[in-house]
Amino acid sequence: MSDSIKFGGVMLDCRHAGELAAFYAEITGGEVTVPGDSWAMVTCPNGSDICFQAAPGYSPPTWPDAASSMQMHLDFDVDDLDATEARVLAAGATKYDTQPNDHCRVYADPAGHPFCLTTYATLQQQA
């Protein structure tokens, strides 16, 4: 037995777990491996998991807003921001008006969680 810790995935609160799981499966090319209204899971092509749980009274964060920080967000590495943006918007994401830089774009998923599409990893490989 060891005391090691291995990151297993992330859990997002939302109103409808199954609906949000379907959104993330669509944009990542993953699969809803545990469907459900109160709890659901998506396994992404790289093997990582994103889980969703229904939370009574869920209220989405706002960004940018000093009174209501986003607290956490998901980053997705992409090769082409414009092409990937079209996919996530068609799937139901909303693009924020405020954008931080030219290699990262911030969106809200259908439940209001911020997430980013970024070419930062590609920029690092080119450096």
- pLDDT tens digits along 58-82: 988 887 877 776 677 899 999 999 9
Global pTM value: 0.84
- Of 85, 61, 56, give the one whose Cα is nearest residue 73: 61
Domain ranges of the chain: 1-58, 60-127
CATH class of 1-58: alpha beta
pLDDT tens for residues 78-121? Answer: 999 999 999 999 999 999 999 989 999 999 999 999 999 999 86
At the topology level of CATH, where does 60-127 sit? 2,3-Dihydroxybiphenyl 1,2-Dioxygenase; domain 1 (3.10.180)
Long-range contacts from 19-22, C-beta under 8 angstroms, 24+ separation:
19/110, 19/111, 20/52, 20/109, 20/110, 20/111, 21/50, 21/52
